[in-house]
Homo-oligomer: A and B are copies of this chain.
Amino acid sequence: MSKVLDINSLLLEVRNAVQIYIDLLLISKDDDDRLKKAIKYSSTNIGKAMRAFLVIESSKMFGVDTAKSMPIAASVELIHTYSLIHDDLPAMDNDSIRRGKPTCHKMYGEAAAILAGDSLLTLAFELLSSELIDFSSNTKLTVINTLAKAIGMNGMAGGQMLDILFEGQELAVENIMEMQKKKTAYFIAACCKIGGILGNVDKQSLSYLENYGMALGTAFQITDDILDIEGCEIKAGKKLRKDYAAGKATLVDKVGLNDSKIKAQELIDLALEEIKNLQCDYSNLSNFAYFIALRNLH
């Protein structure tokens, strides 16, 4: 339990540092610019910043300090925020509350929300290719390419499409797992892999990081679906039991709460097995896996 408390405070610390970085990045004089208002509105509260945490901690393991990985950590949160803004749109999940506030389109209208998402995605690639990133050009390109692959049509965007298409359908467990991998796990795995890329590790180590991230990301999505049933709306900062009502395809819906918890725990165990192969102090990443498990599995 103390491991989880430690991770909780480390997560909060990382989150606050990333938030400050993003706030400074988005400072501008155009205070009456509606698009920038919408962008800032959705970026001012980056949530738990789990993806930034994974970038920063996986980098630290290989001797890359936080000051250097910070702009990349900020970029992945910009990408995550873009995906949430678009997912919340009426034509997508039609959500009205996100991170405890009205969603972007509820505040600024759909056009501004679509463009705010587009702009945040673009800004992430602008930042990743800028001189603010203090790594070799080769390393920067590998990071850009790894992220782009993880969030595109064969990754996050593809998963979000399946999530919508699967609504109300009778599906096999494999379909649900495939959708969740694309929607959530590829991006999380890319964040973990980035630490290895920045630290110039060998291919085998990159593969351990990726496997850890895939298992962790899939477990995270399952615990998210469990929270949708068992969780507290105020704590979650979004409407719950909505996925269930919308007929969303989740593992919980398919195999029930108990078996879903068992599956999530198996995935957490798998993530822990993978990370243990690394020849370095992996304690923050293993503790983070315990933290995900303890969100609601016990």
Give bound CA distance, A158 to B112, whole Å. Answer: 10
A152 and B111 in contact, given A144-B125, A145-B129 (Cβ under 8 angstroms): no
A148 and B165 in contact, given A35-B153, A138-B137, A153-B36 (Cβ under 8 angstroms): no
Q: CB distance A158 to B33 under 8 Å? A: yes
Can you name the residue of chain B whose Cβ is closest to the Cβ of A118?
A: B157
Which residues of B are found within 8 Å of A117, using beta-carbon distances?
Answer: 118
Report the interface size class on chain A: 35 or more
Which residues of B are found within 8 Å of A169, using beta-carbon distances?
Answer: none
A34 interfacial by beta-carbon distance below 8 Å? yes
Give bound CA distance, A203 to B126, whole Å. Answer: 20
Residue picked from A86, A122, A136, A158, most chain B C-beta under 10 Å: A122
A39 interfacial by beta-carbon distance below 8 Å? yes
CB distance from A98 to the nearest CB of B (A): 16
Q: CB distance B35 to A115 under 8 Å? A: no
A164 interfacial by beta-carbon distance below 8 Å? yes
CB distance from A143 to the nearest CB of B (A): 9
A109 and B126 in contact, given A137-B138, A153-B39, A157-B118 (Cβ under 8 angstroms): no
Which residues of B are found within 8 Å of A118, using beta-carbon distances?
Answer: 82, 86, 117-118, 121, 157
CB distance from A247 to the nearest CB of B (A): 15
A110 and B125 in contact, given A119-B152, A160-B115, A161-B35 (Cβ under 8 angstroms): no
CB distance from A273 to the nearest CB of B (A): 31
Can you name the residue of chain B whose Cβ is closest to the Cβ of A126?
A: B148
Which residues of B are found within 8 Å of A229, using beta-carbon distances?
Answer: none
Q: CB distance B137 to A123 under 8 Å? A: no
Give bound CA distance, A129 to B126, whole Å. Answer: 12
A89 interfacial by beta-carbon distance below 8 Å? yes
B-contact 0/1 string along A255-283, CB 8 Å cutoff: 00000000000000000000000000000
Can you name the residue of chain B whose Cβ is closest to the Cβ of A82?
A: B118
B-contact 0/1 string along A126-164, CB 8 Å cutoff: 101110000011101110110011011100011011001
Give bound CA distance, A113 to B137, whole Å. Answer: 33
Q: Which of B34, B36, B137 contacts A141 (CB 8 A)?
A: B137
CB distance from A243 to the nearest CB of B (A): 16
Q: CB distance A91 to B111 under 8 Å? A: yes
A232 interfacial by beta-carbon distance below 8 Å? no
Give me 18 A-to-B residue pairs in the complex whose CB atoms sit less than 8 angstroms apart, sorted by A's number: A33-B161, A35-B161, A86-B114, A86-B115, A91-B109, A92-B111, A92-B114, A111-B161, A118-B118, A118-B157, A123-B148, A125-B144, A126-B145, A126-B148, A128-B144, A129-B142, A130-B145, A140-B141
